[in-house]
């Protein structure tokens, strides 16, 4: 199979039929062998009914329905797990991503051997104050922190080699940082393509300003996990040793001063250096223990269920 198209969605009943027909036209014109995976992330409208009807008329349409809304990252994780294509394309269900871009993205993966190609919505039709400006600030911070030189981390239209999606873990709200996760996993050939952005045709956006706040918090998390996720002792242990040495240094100074320099001076407990020393050694010990416990958790962690699937369509069981 050439392409798996993974489409996470939440309450997009108006656009699904139109999106499906558009994708099918593109697939047929390019003679691709394909599948379309709709991941219903707990929709409360008629989205699942429409997906069910589409799957009856087109066996290439497959569906996964969550019991409730678990988030876009969990929807992508489920889609990646089920995808069978050599190239996986992700796109949003709101018709703001143009399916006509699929052919060019596929060629970049197959012919130019990219591991991942991210869309760049260079010209946007969103609100300047509520979306465009915060998005630019967010993308600038993501580039500086992660080292991945992409203009648009938030673009839902991306193409991946099969090996990429099968070897990364998308959890929490980390769907914005899949290129960073891919780079951390060793997939270094990451590219970008300018894609056409379209104004939302139906409904309203499911994301507000809070997603940018969450995005910056997730950026800190992904930076920490990518650098120290598998070796927390390297951070906490080093900080703990540093703090303990600082505290020990103050304690040594106080001891030498009291024993040899000013033996008749004021009590050690009356000097601020004593409390600095005590606090630094306590913090250092706690940080070291945090690193030690982190190492134990990393080595004993078991996979946990992050979402519950209520129903599936056209998915063959292994």
List, for residues 288-317, the tens digit of each pLDDT value: 999 888 888 877 765 556 678 888 998 876
- Using a 10 angstrom Cβ sphere, with 0-12 exposed, 13-18 middle and 19 or more buried, the burial of residue 126 is middle
Kindly report the average pLDDT of the chain as a whole number: 87
* Residues 139 and 212: beta-carbon distance below 8 Å: no
Among residues 27, 44, 45, the alpha carbon closest in space to that of 36 is found at 27
**CB atoms inside a 10 Å sphere around CB 64:** 24
Predicted local distance difference test score (pLDDT) of residue 244: 95
How are beta strands 116-120 and 190-194 bridged, if at all? Answer: parallel
**CB atoms inside a 10 Å sphere around CB 256:** 10
pLDDT tops 80 at residue 44: yes
Task: Render pLDDT for 126-184 as a digit per residue (tens, 0 to 9).
Answer: 555 556 667 777 788 778 877 888 988 888 999 999 999 999 888 777 788 899 889 88
User: Where does the pLDDT of residue 211 fall: very low under 50, low under 70, confident under 90, or very high at 90 and above?
Assistant: low
Within 13 Å of residue 152, how many CA atoms lie on the same side as its CB?
20
Q: Rounded to the nearest 5°, which phi and psi values hold at 307?
A: -160, 160
Predicted local distance difference test score (pLDDT) of residue 198: 77
* Residues 153 and 228: beta-carbon distance below 8 Å: no
Range list of H helices, the chain: 16-30, 47-57, 72-82, 102-110, 133-146, 162-165, 178-184, 210-228, 238-256, 272-300
Rounded Cα–Cα distance for residues 35 and 104 (Å): 18
- Using a 10 angstrom Cβ sphere, with 0-12 exposed, 13-18 middle and 19 or more buried, the burial of residue 167 is middle
Predicted local distance difference test score (pLDDT) of residue 304: 59
């Amino acid at each position: 199979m050439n392409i798996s198209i993974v489409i996470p969605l939440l309450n997009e009943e108006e656009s699904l039929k139109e999106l499906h027909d558009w994708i099918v036209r593109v697939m047929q014109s390019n003679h691709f062998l394909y599948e379309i995976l709709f991941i219903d992330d707990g929709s409360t409208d008629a989205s699942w009914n429409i997906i069910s009807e589409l799957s009856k008329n087109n066996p290439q349409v497959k569906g996964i329905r969550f019991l409730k809304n678990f988030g876009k990252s969990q929807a992508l994780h489920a889609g990646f797990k089920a995808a069978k294509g050599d190239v996986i394309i992700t796109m949003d269900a709101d018709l703001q991503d143009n399916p006509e871009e699929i052919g060019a993205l596929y060629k970049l993966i197959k012919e130019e051997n990219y591991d991942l190609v991210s869309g760049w919505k260079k010209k946007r039709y969103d609100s300047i104050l509520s979306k465009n400006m915060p998005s630019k600030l967010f993308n600038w911070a993501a580039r500086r922190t992660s080292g991945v030189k992409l203009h648009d981390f938030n673009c839902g239209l991306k193409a991946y080699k099969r090996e990429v999606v099968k070897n990364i873990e998308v959890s929490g709200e980390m769907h914005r940082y899949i290129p960073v996760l891919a780079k951390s996993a060793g997939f270094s050939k990451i590219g970008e393509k300018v894609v056409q952005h379209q104004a939302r045709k139906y409904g309203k956006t499911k994301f507000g300003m809070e997603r940018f706040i969450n995005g910056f918090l997730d950026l800190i998390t992904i930076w920490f996990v990518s650098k120290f996720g598998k070796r927390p002792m390297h951070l906490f242990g080093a900080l703990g040793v540093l703090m303990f040495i600082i505290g020990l240094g103050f304690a040594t100074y106080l001891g030498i001063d009291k024993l040899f320099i000013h033996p008749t001076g004021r009590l050690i407990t009356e000097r601020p250096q004593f409390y600095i020393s005590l606090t630094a050694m306590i913090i250092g010990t706690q940080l070291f223990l945090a690193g030690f416990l982190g190492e134990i958790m990393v080595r004993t962690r078991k996979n946990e269920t992050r979402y519950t699937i209520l129903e599936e369509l056209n998915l063959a069981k292994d």
